[in-house]
Amino acid sequence: MVFQFFKGGEPTIEVVEETLVQMVLDGRDVFETAMDALFGGGKSKETKREIKATDRGINTAQRDVRRELMIHASLQNTVDLPLVLSYMSTVKDAERIGDYSKNFYDLVKYGANFEDAPDRDELLAYRRRVSDLLAEAAATFEERNVDRARELIAKADGFLDDYDAHIKAAYRSTGAASDAVARALYFRFLKRVTAHVMNFLTSLVLPVDRLDYYDEAKDDRD
């Protein structure tokens, strides 16, 4: 990612916002690639390379955003400091989406395969739910749509309860331990991706001091 902040290109914040959107979309690519493997594709060198390459690009973008925000805050005469601080936090959540999405491929490496699972349709429905959430979050952030951001955050907050219920059910399962572990981790990773999407959207609806609000358990939010 090459920034053109001081070379007559786009204004800094606009480029940062575009990069943040692309990071979420790239994270969705990692998510989908890992999920394809989990739902029947299996392990492959090509899949591993694709996931690593995309994740590496996300990590590079995170460093670039932070560096250029710092340069912008140091050298520009007029700086929206709260926005700069907000994006310093938001870029972390954009990066974490890709990180947690990689974990679904770890399940494949451990031997998980949901292709013929008896609950495949239910597991697949949750996959689609989160994939759609990622796409909607990127579009909402790009459009700076505050009302839609609030709607998505409220919608996703309900998802977290579903994930917790499935994790508890897996813990109490009397079936094969490998099946229970795979499902507990599956829903745990879905929960983490969802929470970071929610945090990503908070930059549109919350002040700087309230960012990362949805990374906390509901009982611990204040």
CB 211 within 8 A of CB 202: yes
Q: What pLDDT is recorded for position 83? A: 84
For residue 220, what pLDDT is reported?
59
Residue 130 lies inside a defined structural domain of this protein: yes
Residue 104 maps to a domain: yes
Whether 221 is in a domain gets the answer: no
pLDDT at 68: 83
- Residue 7: Cβ-neighbour burial (10 angstroms; 0-12, 13-18, 19+): exposed
4: confidence class by pLDDT, cuts 50, 70, 90: very low
**Separation CA 130–CA 43 (nearest Å):** 22
Name 157's Cβ contacts closer than 8 Å, sequence gap at least 6.
Answer: 198, 214, 218
Measured distance CA(168)–CA(161) in Å, rounded: 11
- Which residue range(s) make up the domain with 169? 12-216
pLDDT at 5: 39
Residue 69 lies in a domain: yes
Asked whether the beta carbons of 113 and 37 are under 8 A apart, the reply is no
Q: What is the DSSP letter of 10?
A: S
Q: How many domains does the chain have?
A: 1
Burial class (CB in 10 A: 0-12, 13-18, 19+), 218: exposed
pLDDT at 31: 98
52 part of a folded domain: yes
| Three-state DSSP class for residue 142 | helix
The reply to whether 110 falls in a domain is yes
Per-chain mean pLDDT for the chain: 89
Question: What is the CATH classification number for the domain harbouring 89?
Answer: 1.20.58.220
Residue 187 domain flag: yes
pLDDT at residue 109 tops 60: yes
Considering the entire predicted model, what is its pTM? 0.89
pLDDT the model gives residue 218 = 65
With respect to residue 131, please indicate whether it lies within any of the assigned structural domains. Answer: yes
* Structure token digits, residue 160: 């977290």
Cα–Cα distance measured from residue 74 to residue 143, given in angstroms and rounded to the nearest whole number: 27
